Amino acid sequence: MNLKRVVVTGLGALTPLGNTVPDFWNGLINGVSGAAPITRFDASKFKTKFACELKNFDPTDYLDKKEARKIDPFTQYALVAADQAVADSGLLTDKVNPDRIGVIWGSGIGGLQTFQEEVVNYAKGDGTPRFNPFFIPKMIVDIAAGHISIKYGFRGPNFVTVSACASATNALVDAFNYIRLGKADAILSGGSEAAVTEAGIGGFNAMKALSERNDSPSTASRPFDKDRDGFVLGEGAGAIVLEEYEHAKARGAKIYAEMIGGGMSADAHHITAPHPEGLGALNVMRNALADAQISPSEVDYINVHGTSTPLGDVSEVKAIQSVFGEQAYKLNISSTKSMTGHLLGAAGAIEGIASILALKNQIVPPTINHFTDDEGFDAALNFTFNKAQQRTINVALSNTFGFGGHNCSIIFRKFEE
């Protein structure tokens, strides 16, 4: 089969580092931490009292006030990031067929705030079932893709992928495959998450997954550091317009990069812990390389999952060394979660954007908050600690792994005609 080329023509980002793509990128390359004490609710009684929240975000700056009340924050975030990406791509022209444009989105949890509020309100009542008529439409995970398609009239493939923290990356792989198989001309893809709520913080605290470094939130996310103690919860959205190359070329679209491959795998090991030898991570990167039809020696940068958890960071590095061999010492590795926190189901979208912009600008964002070397990691590996590095980047790979053992990797290449 003659597969079509897939390129990136639009980007949108709503993140703890900034509410636009330029602000997000500027924060990344300057090593800014998005972590701070929680403002959304009183976190004084929680073990973790900080998160990577959005800053200066008011949904009514972007959405009609009445409409904003009818949708959960995770959908609000999706619509804002999608609007940026659509505008950036110039996709809304009479040169495109809306029947051939789709929306494939990702979210790990969906409308958690809505679910929490409705259940709490019911529990406080007299037992009479009084629920908001928008409860279900606000909460369900697929609704973000539905709202995006309704807003723009995109009538192509439309659904949401749910694979915990791998959700947005899975969405991008699905979008990539639909386009290269000729089933769509363009697909708006990405992911959103809004889990900085009492239920989100409390639930992850109960699992002992979150950092409890309340005395220094800005340094709490420290991937590959000896004293890492868990991830920092983040929120926001990332949107990427993927488009068939000839279609993009015909309408004169600007092109950021080319997506050349995607891989998926399962750990088949444990509901939350990664495989200790990184078997699932090893397989997913090999699958992505095979799909892209490139060798490990061609990869220059890996945006790692790198959550700052004791077990996860170790297993991912083991997998990288197994897959890349000597090339592991020639490439740059960095975890942008050290700055953004972990956006769960949206992580793969904003990290995909970070990888695309690294290619475009030939700069590797850093892994910040490195203070103490961990003897468990090979010191000869380049983790891009604390400061961005300029280098030649022709190929970038991005990893995301989710609870349940879901693994997904995507590969972008510097665009050439």
| Active-site annotation, residues | 165
**How far is Cα 118 from Cα 132, in angstroms, rounded to an integer?**
7
Helix axes 279-292, 310-324, angle to 10 degrees: 40
Of the candidates 114, 17, 131, 19, the residue with the CA atom closest to the CA atom of residue 73: 114
- Beta-carbon contacts of 62 under 8 Å, excluding residues fewer than 6 positions away, are 76, 79, 80, 83
Start-end of H helices in 129-262: 135-139, 143-152, 167-180, 198-206, 245-250
Q: Measured between alpha carbons, how far is 141 from 149 in angstroms, rounded to an integer?
A: 14
Separation of alpha carbons 411 and 307, rounded Å: 20
Sheet of strand 301-303, all strands in order from the earlier edge strand to the far edge: 158-161, 101-106, 186-193, 236-244, 6-14, 257-266, 406-413, 395-402, 301-303, 332-334
